[in-house]
Structure 1
Amino acid sequence: MFKTTLSLLIFLMFCHISFAQNPDGYTQDISGSDLKIDMMSIPGGVFQMGSSSKDVNAKDDESPSHEVEITSFWMSKYEITWDLFYLYLNREIDNVGSISEEAEVSVDIDAISGATIPYVDMSMGMGTGSGLPIVNVTRLAASKFCEWLSAKTGHFYRLPTEAEWEYACRAGTNSAYSFGASNEKLDDHAWYQSNSGGSYHKVGQKEPNAWGLYDMHGNVAELVLDGYQEEAYKKFKKKKVDDPIIFPEDEYPTVVRGGSWIDEPNALRSAFRLASTDQWKRRDPQFPKSKWWHTDAPHVGFRIVRVKEVPDTKDYEKFWGPKEIE
């Protein structure tokens, strides 16, 4: 009896310790580098996606507001930075270290397409120093970074869906911004047209939302997985949708969220949707134009998520793009 009780107590203690390690998230190490990625735990739940018809600032593509259920996931605390992206770009640490025994995926890192190294300053003079957000990357480049990170860590990383992004941005609120209906406190939470000084800034300098995410409003706008459809929400008008995603059929347009350092307050609302465009490669002199870099999107970057239910291997390309890049 004593042995049974003791064994039970040890088991319960172990369970408690395992759960208590960091219930709010974790820090992702990257073998071969001192850089880390802080991942915040986003609880699952139901929310109203889009804007109410009563919102005078709402755009047509934000309505109708509809009920969406989101499964819990992790999201990067900050936007992905230049120094993190350079780890993928330079590919110097690909085979340094080993995969965790808790790996969920096994990906051949040598088979992952590498982005071309640009010969001009893609930051447009704003800097690529530590803590500054990556910009001017295409959705493909952002997705391949996620594939590379997945291969390095054994965890499945990808861009957030549009619904996941808005849910995380709102952080339990239903107001225009995560901090309220008015933009009066926007300076406390975001870099945007009026206070940015014409440049992006180091991540994490403003106040986070209630779920500990920084720069969801402003600094740089953020690429997501979904293809852009102006009337997408009309499909969901009368029913609750679970973890929706609209995979893009073409390179453009896709959805971009959050607003940026060049935008007015209205574009920083939680529900605001921006469509990417091939005009973001307007000044690219190459033919064909780069699949990896924009020349005219110094306001667009990305952040990443990790999901708890890993998709089937046959579906990886839906999230990371094709294996072979022409």
Structure 2
Amino acid sequence: MLNCIKCNTELPDEANFCSNCGFPVGSLKVCRSCTNCGASLSAIDKFCSQCGKAVRVIKDAPTSGTLQEISQSSNDTIPKLVPVKGGDFLMGSLTGEFQATLSSFYVSETPITQKQYMYVIGKNPSKLQGEDRPVEMVNWCEALIYCNTLSSIQGLTPCYSIGTQYDLSSFDANSPVWKRITCNFAASGYRLLTEAEWEYAARGGKDGSPYRYAGGSDINQVAWYGENSDITTHVVGLKKPNSLGLFDMCGNVTEWCWDYYEPRLPTTLQVNPRGPSIGTMHAKRGGCWLDDADQCTVFYRSGSIPSGKSSSLGFRICRSDISTQI
């Protein structure tokens, strides 16, 4: 027996569609989106179930190579980094609550995919499987371990350490030792974005626009969220990128940030803000495949405990542009 991933109805193994809600199951994978409204489609759909637009039937489910062609992003095993020039911006709401000044940095084109995580860590913890989908079921500590491991693989100086330890894989996520973690922002390696860096990049950087979502004002064009996701993640890079060429900053999976989460933001000018020095939760940004539109804006904020895991929570990475540090 199998279960429908949309409504959880129990179905026979040979089923192709859910008898309750009609969603494709079994070998019929959600593999593309409607070009008109962004709804998810299976390989054999002739018409979009959301808007009724006629679509091309794919007789065989696409291979990973075909998905690469459908996606607009690179989807390599090593994340592609996009340069973000530093500058000033108003952070925290549609019109901004306080001014922040940031140094330049480089950010991954998409959330880290399952293929990218598997290449570095050697396993795929995701609940919603697909090599070019975002990795999820990764806690904050495991995201830092990924960053340091990838840095070491590429001969870069890791950013994170606990005391003199750069290999963090032996520390349990529930251990209080993680309170001692430090980040060397001047190191050449990979790290999580700060909240300010995340919002700055999502808005489009120095020449950003006042859109509610990363890449536009129409959420269906730029994000997978509760109304169009069919209750699952999707291959990265299927939606419209923002002006920097960054995909899925809003929707698909929420993304871990470095900072401890504090409900209230500062009210004065901040230079390279990195959050509170102590806390119990870490910030996460962007909204996900099960959130409503308001939770997917470029300014919506929330937090989770560092050991927290969810099929809706992943991460994106960055590197400091060391030559321009303020």
TM-score normalised by L of structure 1: 0.61
RMSD of equivalent CA atoms: 2.5
Return the letter of the residue paired with 2:312. H
Q: How far 1:270 sits from its partner (Å)?
A: 0.6
Return the letter of the residue paired with 1:74. Y
Q: Output aligned runs, 1:240-251, within 5 Å.
A: 240-246=269-275, 249-250=278-279
Cα distance in 1 for residues equivalent to 2:305 and 2:87? 32
Q: How far 1:247 sits from its partner (Å)?
A: 5.2
Correspondence 1:80 to 2:104:
no
Give the gaps of 5 or more residues in structure 1.
1-26, 56-63, 91-116, 279-290, 311-326
Q: Which runs of 4+ in 1 moved over 6 A?
A: none
**Equivalent residues of 2:111, 2:316 under 8 A apart:** yes
Cα distance in 2 for residues equivalent to 1:123 and 1:152? 22
- Aligned partner of 1:178 in structure 2 is 214
**Looking at both structures, which has the greater relative contact order when contacts are Cα pairs under 8 Å and sequence separation is at least 6?**
1
Partner of 1:80, secondary structure, is: coil
Q: How far 1:230 sits from its partner (Å)?
A: 1.1
- Aligned partner of 1:288 in structure 2 is none
Q: Deviation per CA, 1:69-89, whole angstroms, max 9, x where unpaired?
A: 111110000110111111232
- Aligned partner of 2:183 in structure 1 is none
- Aligned partner of 2:152 in structure 1 is 151
Task: State, as a whole percentage, how many aligned pairs show the same letter.
Answer: 32
- Aligned partner of 2:318 in structure 1 is 305
Return the letter of the residue paired with 1:66. F
Q: Output aligned runs, 1:194-233, within 5 Å.
A: 194-231=227-264, 233=265
Change (3 A) 1:224 1:199: same
Partner of 2:100, secondary structure, is: strand
Q: Output aligned runs, 1:51-62, within 5 Å.
A: 51=93
Cα distance in 2 for residues equivalent to 1:165 and 1:66? 15
**Equivalent residues of 1:228, 1:248 under 8 A apart:** no
Change (3 A) 1:176 1:46: same
Return the letter of the residue paired with 1:193. G
**Equivalent residues of 1:79, 1:303 under 8 A apart:** yes
Change (3 A) 1:149 1:123: closer
Cα distance in 2 for residues equivalent to 1:227 and 1:255? 6
Cα distance in 2 for residues equivalent to 1:227 and 1:245? 8
- Aligned partner of 2:83 in structure 1 is 41
- Aligned partner of 1:140 in structure 2 is 141
Cα distance in 2 for residues equivalent to 1:35 and 1:246? 31
Correspondence 1:272 to 2:300:
yes
Cα distance in 1 for residues equivalent to 2:78 and 2:322? 23
- Aligned partner of 1:192 in structure 2 is 225
**Equivalent residues of 1:48, 1:174 under 8 A apart:** no
TM-score normalised by L of structure 2: 0.61
- Aligned partner of 2:288 in structure 1 is 260
Counting helix residues as a fraction of each chain, which structure ranks higher? 1
Partner of 1:217, secondary structure, is: coil
Give the gaps of 5 or more residues in structure 2.
1-72, 157-187
Q: Deviation per CA, 1:74-110, whole angstroms, max 9, x where unpaired?
A: 00001101111112322xxxxxxxxxxxxxxxxxxxx
Cα distance in 2 for residues equivalent to 1:210 and 1:274? 25
